[in-house]
Structure 1
């Protein structure tokens, strides 16, 4: 029996659904581990995030996203998993690409959790 593991992803920011192309990306861990010597490692905290490519249509909430400092980003993956990013804000330098009507978005936040 086959199992659905990929497909359309749905992203909502403070309840407003974005139209995205492809999928979205979210981390599985909240730490980065590095081996110092076999059997010994160090950890450093990572900022939780969600990355995606969104279509910038006429209803795209530019002001909300640009000015948001404490948003909730809910990402529903086709495999049934949901990742919720709390205390979210846009990072990097999102810019509009006129050739395909998209914008690359990355939200970092305070807490990310898999539901």
Structure 2
């Protein structure tokens, strides 16, 4: 048996951020959906899936807010505890980034 969970390293353009959990990266790049005919035949359609990384990160005083909220060419590197490395190039912030000062965290995608 080997390590499959635990310490994870997350970097934006080489700057390491501390994540508190909730890191998520996709395992597939294609999505298959059923197409069911009126005669009961079943086929599928395949569509591409946008790459992404989701994390909950701590927000210290030197948190790179401007870079994260304005850049559209970031490189996101997630080094997972099981040895897998996920790299997202030419990345941008998807949706909103809201700081939770009570917890000192922000959810990013």
Task: Give the TM-score taking structure 1 as reference length.
Answer: 0.86
How many Å apart are 1:8 and its aligned residue? 1.5
How far apart are the structure 2 equivalents of 1:87 and 1:73?
9
* 1:58 Cα deviation from its structure 2 partner: 0.9
Larger radius of gyration: 2
Structure 2: how far apart are the matches of 1:44 and 1:103? 30
Q: Distance in 2 between matches of 1:87 and 1:31?
A: 19
SS of aligned partner of 1:35: strand
SS in 2 for 1:65: helix
Task: Identify the residue that residue 111 of structure 1 maps to in structure 2.
Answer: none
1:27 is matched with: 26
For the Cα contact (< 8 Å) 1:55–1:103, is it kept in 2? yes
Which residue of structure 1 lines up, in the alignment, with residue 17 of structure 2? Answer: 18
Q: Using the alignment, how far apart are the partners of 2:84 and 2:42 within structure 1?
A: 32
Q: How many residues align?
A: 105
Map 1:44-63 → 2, pairs under 5 A: 44-63=47-66
Indicate yes or no: 2:104 matched with 1:101: yes
For structure 2, the residue ranges without an aligned partner over 5 or more in a row are none
TM-score, reference length from structure 2: 0.90
